[in-house]
């Protein structure tokens, strides 16, 4: 280690890095909990209203409070596409081809956007979960090296002299593990929630597509 770099400064930087990781992790955890809870509640309210509508185009008449959630955005995208298709059918390349397949493609693009929104932040959680222990280990190695230099300089190898500095150095590894565990657990939990909500969106997409295709005697 170069003499002009203070070992204690690097060790402190490692600990502050882990602190930042911890703040990011818990911020993401609370945000994702809110996001999934709010989306599930909005989807439930929208679905209860949607299936009681007399016409799918009346979705646009729903109050903003009811038109929230991934299912509402998916349905709104489908209805908007239907309106646009009626005006532009045969006039633009975008609306040339099988109307049912074009509608399904439009809905699946929106579904992918909803999935990307649900997955936002998960990569960062996974990265923190995988790197935090190594950052802590890096701090521990530097701490032990620094402790060894001090022990050598003191000329004493008694247990009291050796145990203290090395014990302090091992704290970095413990903190790294403490930061990584919540990040990994949260990543696995939210990844499961993404799969569950995507499955529900897939089911809603199929049901919406069936209703849309059945409109006007099966013609989109």
pLDDT in tens, 50-72: 888 877 878 878 777 777 889 98
**183 in a structural domain:** yes
Angstrom distance (rounded) from CA 94 to CA 7: 63
Give which of 213, 24, 202, 209 is closest to 114, Cα–Cα.
202
**93 in a structural domain:** yes
How many residues are present in the chain?
Answer: 220
Q: What's residue 154's pLDDT?
A: 67
If 0-12 CB within 10 Å is exposed, 13-18 middle and 19+ buried, where does residue 95 land?
middle
Query: DSSP for the chain?
Result: --TTS-HHHHHHHHHHHHHHHHHHHHHHHHHHHHHHHHHHHHHHHHHHHHTT-SSGGGGGGS-TTTS-SHHHHHHHHHHHHHHHHHHHTTTSGGG-S-HHHHHHHHHHHHHHHHHHHHHTTHHHHHHHHHHHHHHHHHHHHHHHHHHHHHHHHHT---HHHHHHHHHHHHHHHHHHHHHHHHHHHHHHHHHHHHHHHHHHHHHHHHHHHHHHHHHHHH--
Q: Residue 168, Cβ neighbours under 10 Å: how many? A: 15
Q: Higher-confidence residue: 168 or 179?
A: 179
Q: What's residue 218's pLDDT?
A: 47
Whole-Å CA distances, 164 to 8, 70, 138? 15, 55, 18
**2 in a structural domain:** no
Task: State which of 36-45, 89-98, 208-217 shows the largest mean pLDDT.
Answer: 36-45
146, 148, 153, 154 alpha-carbon torsion, rounded to 10°: 110
Q: Tell me the average pLDDT of the chain.
A: 83
**131 in a structural domain:** yes
pTM beyond 0.85, yes or no: no
- How many domains, the chain? 1
Q: What is the mean pLDDT of residues 116-132?
A: 94
Angstrom distance (rounded) from CA 108 to CA 75: 11
**1 in a structural domain:** no
Angstrom distance (rounded) from CA 41 to CA 68: 9
- Give the domain extent around 115: 7-218
**43 in a structural domain:** yes
Q: What's residue 123's pLDDT?
A: 94
Q: What is the mean pLDDT of residues 1-9?
A: 57
């Amino acid at each position: 280690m170069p003499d002009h770099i203070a070992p204690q400064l690097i060790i402190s930087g490692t600990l502050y890095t882990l602190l930042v990781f911890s703040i990011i992790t818990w911020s993401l955890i609370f945000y994702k909990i809110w996001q999934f809870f709010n989306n599930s509640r909005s989807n439930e309210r929208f679905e209860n209203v949607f299936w009681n509508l007399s016409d799918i185009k009346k979705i646009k008449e729903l109050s903003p409070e009811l038109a929230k959630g991934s299912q509402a955005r998916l349905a709104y995208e489908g209805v908007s596409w239907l309106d646009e298709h009626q005006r532009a059918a045969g006039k633009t390349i975008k609306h040339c081809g099988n109307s049912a397949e074009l509608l399904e493609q439009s809905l699946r693009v929106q579904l992918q956007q909803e999935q990307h929104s649900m997955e936002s932040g998960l990569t960062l959680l996974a990265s923190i979960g995988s790197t935090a222990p190594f950052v802590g280990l890096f701090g521990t190695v530097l701490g032990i090296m620094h402790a060894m230099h001090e022990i050598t300089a003191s000329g004493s190898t008694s247990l009291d002299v050796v145990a203290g500095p090395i014990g302090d150095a091992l704290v970095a590894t413990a903190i790294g593990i403490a930061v990584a565990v919540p990040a990994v657990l949260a990543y696995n939990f939210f990844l499961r929630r993404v799969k569950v909500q995507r499955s529900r969106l897939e089911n809603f997409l199929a049901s919406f597509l069936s209703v849309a295709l059945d409109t006007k005697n099966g013609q989109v």
